[in-house]
């Protein structure tokens, strides 16, 4: 899928906000898998499933384990050809 970096970031931010039940002005540098109480392994699986569905991609198990922050997610999506500069 071809999206601008800004559009992809907004999609990922909205997904994480919804699934992690985050409100207000979010400092995304503080939101991390296993460090944010709501971001447990079950929610991680849901995040991956939603990303694969929304963006029509298949993520490898290695990619899934490396997705620990929004920056990690965007970097991996870019490697999958989703994010374009």
Kindly report, residue by residue over 6-26, the tens digit of the pLDDT: 788 889 999 999 999 999 899
Q: Report pLDDT for 83.
A: 62
Question: Does residue 84 have a pLDDT over 50?
Answer: no
Q: How far apart are CA 16 and CA 30, in angstroms?
A: 13
The tally of domains found in the chain comes to 1
Q: Could you tell me the residue range of the domain that residue 7 belongs to?
A: 3-84
- What is the CATH classification number for the domain harbouring 35? 1.10.1200.10
| Secondary structure element (H or E) that encloses residue 13, with its range | helix 5-20
């Amino acid at each position: 899928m071809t999206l601008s970096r800004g559009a992809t970031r907004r999609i990922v931010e909205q997904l994480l906000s919804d699934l992690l039940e985050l409100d207000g002005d979010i400092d995304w540098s503080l939101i991390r898998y296993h460090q944010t109480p709501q971001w447990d392994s079950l929610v991680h699986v849901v995040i991956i499933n939603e990303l694969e569905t929304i963006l029509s991609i298949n993520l490898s198990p290695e990619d899934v384990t490396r997705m620990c922050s929004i920056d990690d997610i965007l970097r991996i999506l870019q490697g999958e050809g989703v994010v374009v500069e």
